[in-house]
Amino acid sequence: MSIEYHPIGVVHSPFKDAEGTPIQPSRAQNVEGTVEVFAEYIDGLKDLEGFSHIILLGHLHQSKGYRLQVVPFLDTEHRGVFATRAPLRPNPIGLSIVKLCSIEKNRLQIEGIDFLDGTPILDIKPYVSEFDARAEARFGWLDLVRKQTQVADDRFKSSS
Ligand SMILES: C[S@@+](CC[C@H](N)C(=O)[O-])C[C@H]1O[C@@H](n2cnc3c(N)ncnc32)[C@H](O)[C@@H]1O
């Protein structure tokens, strides 16, 4: 089965190369960007301005191929890709929770973006702590490591 999605918009961010890009929004707190929503989807933005944070689902378009085991940015050991947020995935979908600063027509001003410039956006959802935050969560291998990496290096440049 194959599934075809069409982007509803595109990210404009300061990052042209994966290397040097923050590894998560929590490492990109003052990084400003824009989501440009395509004209045919503007009506879907109604009522979004009341939310302080949004979930962006993006197609990590510069990911080439995938690896089932990766050494994550915050670790030195191989982990299963589905136990990481690494960009080289069978379906290279990125999920980033960013601050929504303002909406001007079809342009969403955001803060805390870790997507490259030009990343196609597949969907936007409001972040709702009641739905999305889990006080009792455990963090697997991340509980064991305390690396303070802020930005990506070139380890996910290709699948080889
Ligand atoms: C570790 S991923 C996390 C993305 C998202 N926050 C997530 O958890 O799904 C973030 C890294 O992916 C890479 N990246 C960001 N946008 C990309 C894109 N459009 N194509 C390929 N790689 C991208 C950059 O190296 C960035 O540091």
Relative to the CA of 59, which ligand 1 atom is closest? Answer: 19
> What does the pLDDT read at residue 159?
56
Domain assignment present for 131: yes
Mean pLDDT of the region 69-86: 96
pLDDT band at 6; cut points 50, 70, 90: very high
How far is ligand 1, taken at its centre, from the CA of residue 159, in Å?
Answer: 15
Domain assignment present for 99: yes
Tens digit of each residue's pLDDT (9 = 90 or more) over 12-48: 999 999 999 999 999 999 999 999 999 999 999 999 9
Domain assignment present for 12: no
Domain assignment present for 156: no
Domain assignment present for 116: yes
Relative to the CA of 116, which ligand 1 atom is closest? Answer: 16
pLDDT band at 158; cut points 50, 70, 90: low
The CATH number that applies at residue 132 is: 2.40.30.70
Tens digit of each residue's pLDDT (9 = 90 or more) over 108-141: 999 999 999 999 999 999 999 999 999 999 999 9
Domain assignment present for 105: yes
Domain assignment present for 18: no
Domain assignment present for 158: no
Residue by residue, DSSP assigns the chain as -------SEEEE-S--SSTTSBSSGGG-TT-EEEEEE-GGGGGGGTTGGG-SEEEEEEE-TT--S--SEE--TT-SS-EEGGGS--S--SS-EEEEEEEEEEEETTEEEEES--SPTTPEEEEEEE--HHHH--TT---GGGGT------B--STTS---
Question: Which structural domain range is residue 119 located in?
Answer: 28-143
> What does the pLDDT read at residue 140?
94
Q: Looking at the 3D structure of the chain, how many domains does it have?
A: 1
> What does the pLDDT read at residue 121?
99
Atom 9 in ligand 1: which residue has the minimum CA distance?
Answer: 94
